[in-house]
């Protein structure tokens, strides 16, 4: 029986988000760097959870958010991420399958509990994340189904996978299989603090053509090239010879190739509520366009539209069908 084919396969940390509104004073009180992602152990996660107050629990994880967004665009998707066989893990698995995403990674029967990300959202919509990786740390090469990787046109990887060593090896294995099959590999840099930790390794992935497409926001790109000047960072990025999609918040995005840089304006919003998942959903829209043969400008517009939808409510999973939402805004996803 022929293996099922997918347009995009995501490989990432399977995490449940716990989201709460807070004030800047709370971040200062707890020594948290606003706008960043900090890795914490289970005890620290428990202490912060107790201090957070009322919270909303939603399945998350960077690449998982992107893959759910792609599914909402009507793209055939699959996801690989490690969960513990506990209540939180079963909830995540149910949510992602309900979203139309193929998911078959075996549960861990023992070891750390399913990962959680405590997301603190300040009144300006900025999110500060504290992540307990838990079972994610046990994602390894054995979790990579080679047939699924070979039969997925685009492999999408998150930079956060560079934190757990076994996950890093899974990342490399999947990328090698994908390229051997003639498929494309995309990487999101995930977070400027993540870039600071792994700058040289990320540059090596780009320069050795382990990845074909890189997603970054303006802060991550400047961190990658250790410059405070955005234009200098873009110029360095252009010389790498990969396809790049660089988001700039309300200024929209730049689609960067060696030959040209295309500026795409941001989609308008009524009210900024929570920036959690903005980059994840931008990647969803862009990859949806790329998978269906859209030009770079329309791919960027689809990304901006998805990002605009996600930042107007809490959580990093879309509240509307994104294919319908795109059509209502004059952007049709080719069949």
The pLDDT of residue 247: 98
Quick one: which of 57, 103, 98 has its CA closest to 77? 103
Share of the chain above pLDDT 90, in %: 84
Strand partners, 213: 186, 243
* Cα–Cα dist 252/264, whole Å: 6
**Domain 6-12+61-105+139-328, what fold?**
3.40.1190
User: Largest Cα–Cα distance in the chain?
Assistant: 59
What is the 8-class DSSP label of residue 196? H
Of the pLDDT bands very low, low, confident and very high (cuts 50, 70, 90), residue 2 is: low
For β-strands 152-158 and 6-11, DSSP reports them as: parallel
Averaged pLDDT, 220-229: 98
- Which residue in 278, 292, 239 sits closest to 66, CA to CA? 278
pLDDT-derived band at 1, boundaries 50, 70, 90: very low
User: What length is written for the chain?
Assistant: 335
> What whole-number distance in Å separates Cα of residue 33 and Cα of residue 228?
19
Residue 242 clears pLDDT 50, i.e. is over it:
yes
pLDDT, one tens digit per residue, over 9-66 is 999 999 998 889 999 999 999 999 998 888 899 999 989 989 997 888 888 899 999 9
pLDDT in tens, 162-182: 988 899 999 999 999 999 999
pLDDT grade for 3, boundaries at 50, 70 and 90? low
Distance spanning both ends of the chain, measured CA to CA: 25
> What is the DSSP code (8-state) at residue 108?
B
DSSP letter at 40 equals -
pLDDT of residue 164: 82
CB within 8 Å of 113: residues ≥ 6 apart: 42, 84, 86, 88, 89, 134, 135
Per the rule left: phi > 0, alpha: psi between -120 and 50, beta: everything else, 178 is: alpha
- The string of pLDDT tens digits covering residues 275-306 is 889 999 999 999 999 999 999 999 999 999 99
Q: How far apart are CA 89 and CA 64, in angstroms?
A: 13
What is the average pLDDT value for the chain, to the nearest integer?
94
Give pLDDT, residue 221: 98
Taking the CA atoms of residue 160, residue 162, residue 165 and residue 171 in that order, the dihedral angle to the nearest 10 degrees is: 100
**CB contact set of 29 (below 8 Å; sequence gap of 6+):** none
CA atoms of 243 and 260, how far apart (whole Å)? 10
Q: For 213-220, what is the mean pLDDT?
A: 97
Q: Residue 92 pLDDT > 60, yes or no?
A: yes
């Amino acid at each position: 029986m022929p293996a099922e084919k997918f347009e995009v396969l995501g490989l990432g940390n399977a995490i449940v988000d716990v989201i709460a509104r807070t004030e800047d004073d709370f971040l200062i009180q707890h020594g948290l760097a606003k706008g960043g992602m900090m890795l914490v152990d289970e005890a620290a996660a428990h202490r912060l959870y107790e201090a957070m107050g009322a919270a909303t629990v939603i399945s998350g994880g960077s690449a998982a958010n992107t893959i759910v967004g792609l599914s909402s665009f009507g793209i055939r998707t699959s996801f690989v991420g490690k969960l513990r066989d506990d209540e939180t893990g079963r909830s995540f698995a149910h949510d992602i399958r309900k979203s139309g995403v193929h998911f078959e990674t075996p549960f861990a029967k023992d070891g750390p509990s399913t990962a959680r990300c405590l997301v603190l959202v300040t009144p300006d919509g900025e999110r500060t994340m504290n992540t307990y990786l838990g079972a994610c740390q046990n994602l390894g090469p054995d979790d990579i189904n080679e047939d699924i990787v070979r039969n997925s046109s685009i492999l999408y990887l998150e930079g956060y996978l560079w934190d757990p060593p076994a996950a890093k090896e899974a990342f490399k294995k999947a990328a090698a299989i994908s390229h051997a099959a003639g498929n494309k590999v995309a990487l999101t840099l995930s977070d400027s603090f993540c870039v600071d930790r792994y700058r040289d390794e990320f540059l090596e992935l780009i320069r050795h053509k382990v990845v074909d497409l890189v997603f970054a926001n303006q802060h991550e790109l400047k961190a990658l090239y250790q410059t405070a000047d955005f234009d200098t960072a873009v110029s360095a990025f252009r010389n790498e010879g990969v396809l790049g999609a660089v988001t700039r918040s309300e200024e929209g995005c730049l689609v960067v190739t060696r030959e040209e840089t295309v500026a795409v304006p941001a989609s308008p919003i009524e009210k900024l509520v929570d920036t959690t998942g903005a980059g994840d959903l931008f990647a969803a829209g862009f990859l949806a366009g790329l998978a269906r043969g859209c030009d770079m400008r329309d791919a960027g517009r689809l990304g901006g539209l998805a990002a605009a939808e996600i930042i107007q409510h809490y959580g990093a999973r879309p509240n509307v069908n994104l294919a319908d939402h795109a059509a209502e805004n004059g952007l049709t996803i080719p069949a």
